[in-house]
Amino acid sequence: MKQSGGILDSVQLGIPMTLNNLAGGVAGGAAGVDANTAFIMALLASFCMMKIGHSVGLYLDTSVNEMKRIDTRFISGSIFACLATTSLIIICN
């Protein structure tokens, strides 16, 4: 897999992830959360999680991919599956 890291790659990754922000905005608006507060907190949370994920991705790319045992796409997919399952459990309860 090539690593280009260009603007197009960033946009292709970022657009689907903004759907989460849309859902958070709807939930915050329905709960009466101030838009400025929601913006600041979402910005901080997104930055921190992206930084952590980037660090983990760099670590996995240099250590795990050399052994060819784990595909980082599998790890990313597993994280999204856990998020979806957690959301489903919360909705069902």
**How many structural domains compose the chain?**
1
Q: Using pLDDT thresholds of 50, 70 and 90, give the confidence band for residue 4.
A: low
- 5-50, pLDDT tens digit by residue? 678 877 777 777 778 778 888 888 999 999 899 889 888 988 998 8
Residue 73 lies in a domain: yes
Residue 1 lies in a domain: no
As a whole number, the mean pLDDT across the chain is: 81
Domain that holds residue 14: 7-92
Overall pTM surpassing 0.75 (yes/no): no
Residue 17 and residue 15: Cα distance in Å, rounded? 5
Residue 2 lies in a domain: no
Residue 88 and residue 19: Cα distance in Å, rounded? 17
Helices (H), the chain: 7-31, 35-67, 72-92
Sequence-separated (6 or more) residues with CB below 8 Å from residue 54: none
Is 60 exceeded by the pLDDT of residue 2?
no
Residue 66 lies in a domain: yes
Residue 36 lies in a domain: yes
Helix (H, G, I), strand (E, B) or coil at 15: helix
